Amino acid sequence: MISRSLKEGIRGVGRHWAMSIYSAAAVTITLFIVSLFLVLTFHLQRFTKNFESEVKISVMIGYDYEHEDVEAGIKKQIEAIDGVKSVEYKTKDEEFQFYLDQFEDERTRKLFEPFGEDNPLHDAFYVETNDGSEIQTIAGEIEKIEGVDSVNYGGQSTVDMISAMEAVRKFGAVLVIGLTILAVFLIQNTINLTIRARRDEITIMRNVGATNRFIRAPFLWEGILTGIIGSILPVGLSIYAYFLLYQKTGGILISNMFKLAPPQPYAYYLGGVLLAGGILVGLLGSLLSINKLLRWKR
Amino acid sequence: MIECTHVYKRYKNGTNALYDINCSVDQGEFVYIIGPTGSGKSTLIKLLDGEETPTKGAVRVVGINVGKLRSSQVPIYRRNIGVVFQDYRLLPTKTVFENISYALEVINMKRKQIRKRTEQVMEIVGLNEKGNAFPRELSGGQQQRVAIARAIANRPKVLIADEPTGNLDPGKSDEIMELLEKINQTYGTTILMVTHDLMLVNKYRRRTIVLENGHIVADLPEGGYVRHDQ
């Protein structure tokens, strides 16, 4: 049964080869763009995650607060805020030592050491959040706590960068949805043509007792095959291009924060997703056509 | 074999096609259904092959209440009946052999069995030499023979012939009638034949049901005489 319907499906693709090529080309273009946005989105997410995990809120405590108050009061209040993952406390002496440790050069360290006697730094908390997008809100909440002198989280630029990444993702999603609809529509039209060309045959099939499944199966194959044909180029080129990109960049873009995922297995997953996407688009196109033209009710 | 009990059919557009049809056809009978255009003959055929459902009443064929079948059950039911049309309805791109075997392929019969059965029915209809011919290479009578072969390939219990001689000259019509009689007598297939051709009805006398305006106005026993104006 499968071999018969598959054969008929292949014949269907050949019967309207020009239309089949248009439809497959639409799938190809769509999948190329999907591929681009999949790579982009996946890595943006990866970069954002890296970025977010690096970003911490620094909370400076006012000079007039005693250590006991800080530990007992402010820390608990910060921890009670929704979305706070961890809170690390550092005294102003620890802060000063950390500052000094930044200098590798002994002479420079010696130059700054005298400032430790009248340490100008604050006691501070370093707050990690569960979700980078909540940084701004959580910082605002912390700022309201009594005893907090100032709050710093990299400021607006952090939030702007995260929201810019979001915007790119959303634009990509809209474009992909639009192109997918176009590809589905083209496949549907191609299969409509095949069904119309085989109308007499379908009537005869019904007369002699063919089940609906038997009649529909070849058209489903035709859609799936068109989807597969359309996926060949995007799948092949995406895998090749990703390996090449990884090889040429050594897997790192600009800095360590922007690391590409290793091509094995990522490139193959990408190929698999694209192929599945092509099949799904083809299947959807043929289902729409079949449900419109081959619905048989007494 | 076929039983219609108080069957009414009213279409959605308000047309009343059949009124209180009561009739039964026994296994192995050969029955003509005649009547003018619009008398309800086509509707009756549609009710019998499951294309339409009665508005009221019951249509039973081979013990199955056809009107109660779900759409998905109709194809399986249709394997019990063969239908032959006036316009043959052959696939022009398939050979005679393929046209016949196609009817067996769609019901998932095994390849070997398909070959054997197709050859058998080609023999029955007298076309065993024409297996590789395409429909366009055949005469009207031969094309109708292919259509009959296709209809009986699955050994249906009932054969419905809708104006099978409508497109044929008298000589060819006789050949088709003789073939249908042979199928009826040799294999015991119940045959229901819709026709306008009263010459044939009078020549090959069989039970005749006369429809007019959706009513059965006469049910003439075998050999009954039918006027030429009916």
Residue B226 half-sphere exposure toward CB, CA atoms < 13 A: 31
Please indicate whether residue B134 or residue A198 has the higher confidence score (pLDDT): B134
Percent of chain B with pLDDT over 70: 97
pLDDT at position A244 is: 93
At B99-138, the pLDDT tens digits run 999 889 888 888 899 999 999 999 999 998 899 999 999 9
Closest-CA residue of B relative to A2 is B108
> Which residue in the set A200, A204, A209 is minimally distant from B75, CB to CB?
A209
Percent of chain B with pLDDT over 90: 55
Nearest C-alpha of chain A: how many angstroms from B80?
Answer: 9
Check residue B68 and report its DSSP letter. G
Nearest C-alpha of chain A: how many angstroms from B28?
Answer: 21
Question: Do A214 and A205 meet the contact criterion of CB atoms below 8 Å apart?
Answer: yes
Average pLDDT, integer, range A14-27: 81
Indicate whether B228 pLDDT > 60: no
> Which residue in the set B49, B51, B106 is minimally distant from A205, CB to CB?
B106
pLDDT at position B182 is: 92
**CB of B105 less than 8 A from some CB of A:** yes
Residue B152's nearest CA partner among B50, B206, B227, B79 is B79
Answer yes or no: do A208 and B103 touch at CB < 8 A: yes
Indicate whether A131 pLDDT > 60: yes
Give A-chain residues touching B105 at CB under 8 angstroms: 4
Average pLDDT, integer, range A38-65: 77
What band does A158 get if pLDDT is binned at 50, 70 and 90? low
Average pLDDT, integer, range A238-250: 91
Residue B218's nearest CA partner among B203, B208, B205 is B208
CA distances to A239, B1, B55, B120 from B21, rounded to whole Å, are 70, 16, 12, 37
At B3-62, the pLDDT tens digits run 999 999 999 888 888 999 999 999 999 999 999 888 999 899 999 989 889 999 999 998
Please indicate whether residue A201 or residue B96 has the higher confidence score (pLDDT): B96
pLDDT at position A154 is: 67
Nearest C-alpha of chain B: how many angstroms from A205?
Answer: 7
Please indicate whether residue A96 or residue A131 has the higher confidence score (pLDDT): A96
> Which residue in the set A209, A296, A298 is minimally distant from B106, CB to CB?
A209
Stretch(es) of chain A classified as CATH 3.30.70.3040: 56-153
Indicate whether A248 pLDDT > 80: yes
Of the ranges A106-110, A208-212, A252-256, B183-187, which is most confident? B183-187
Indicate whether A52 pLDDT > 70: no
Check residue A252 and report its DSSP letter. B
Q: Give the lowest-confidence range in A244-258, B107-121, B215-229.
A: B215-229
Please indicate whether residue A114 or residue B169 has the higher confidence score (pLDDT): B169
Give A-chain residues touching B52 at CB under 8 angstroms: 298
* B window 76-95, beta carbon within 8 A of A: 76-79, 83, 89, 91
Nearest C-alpha of chain A: how many angstroms from B99?
Answer: 10
Per-domain residue ranges of chain B:
1-80+157-230, 90-155
Average pLDDT, integer, range B142-165: 92
Distance between CA atoms of A246 and A262, rounded to whole angstroms? 8
Indicate whether A7 pLDDT > 80: yes
**CB of A208 less than 8 A from some CB of B:** yes
> How is domain B1-80+157-230 classified at the CATH fold level?
Rossmann fold (3.40.50)
Question: Do A285 and A191 meet the contact criterion of CB atoms below 8 Å apart?
Answer: yes
The sign of the CA dihedral A75, A78, A84, A88 is: negative
Indicate whether B230 pLDDT > 50: no
CATH architecture observed for domain A56-153:
2-Layer Sandwich (3.30)
> Which residue in the set A4, A201, A209 is minimally distant from B91, CB to CB?
A201
What band does A233 get if pLDDT is binned at 50, 70 and 90? very high
Tokens encoding A100: 């000094």
**CB of B154 less than 8 A from some CB of A:** yes
**CB of A254 less than 8 A from some CB of B:** no
A to B CB pairs, distance under 8 Å: 53
Nearest C-alpha of chain B: how many angstroms from A209?
Answer: 4
Nearest C-alpha of chain A: how many angstroms from B211?
Answer: 24
pLDDT at position A255 is: 64
What band does B180 get if pLDDT is binned at 50, 70 and 90? very high
At A83-106, the pLDDT tens digits run 888 888 888 888 888 878 877 777
Residue A286 half-sphere exposure toward CB, CA atoms < 13 A: 25
pLDDT at position A298 is: 63
Indicate whether A114 pLDDT > 80: no
> Which pTM value belongs to this model?
0.66
Answer yes or no: do A212 and B50 touch at CB < 8 A: no
pLDDT at position A54 is: 67
pLDDT at position A53 is: 65
pLDDT at position A195 is: 81
Average pLDDT, integer, range A173-184: 83
Strands B207-212 and B215-220: antiparallel
